[in-house]
Structure 1
Amino acid sequence: MGRLWEWIVYRIGLITAAMATLSLNEWAVLIGVICTVITCGVNWYYERKRTLIQAGVLSGK
């Protein structure tokens, strides 16, 4: 159990150190970009699905 705990603590330390390299403003921009990309992907998926349904591809017509 000791080695597992050391591994977990080491990884948490690495993550914390990596997070400290960016300022709060940089984190805000990064999170905004990631959310925008996710929103674009979800929108594309549902718009494509709606278009296919309207074309009759998914409804079996």
Structure 2
Amino acid sequence: MQTERSVAIDLPQKLLVWEDDGDVFLTYNDLEFLAMRHGLDTADESLTGIADAIADLVAAIAGNE
């Protein structure tokens, strides 16, 4: 948010867990998408760290640790 204020509209990062016909889905906006949307450097280390943490969280929720 310090680099580009508009990113605040998409933060904090959210995960949507939903079910359809017995299948459970987890949906979220990819950090690379958010970076491009707000004109941020996609190679920024802090974004990479956050993206990795979210991927780990999603894998843990899905049982794919």
TM-score of the superposed pair, with normalisation by structure 1: 0.35
More strand by share: 2
Q: Which one has the bigger helix percentage?
A: 1
Q: Considering only CA atoms, is the larger Rg found in Structure 1 or Structure 2?
A: 1
- Please give the TM-score of this superposition, normalised by the length of structure 2: 0.33
Higher relative contact order (CA 8 A, sep 6+): 2
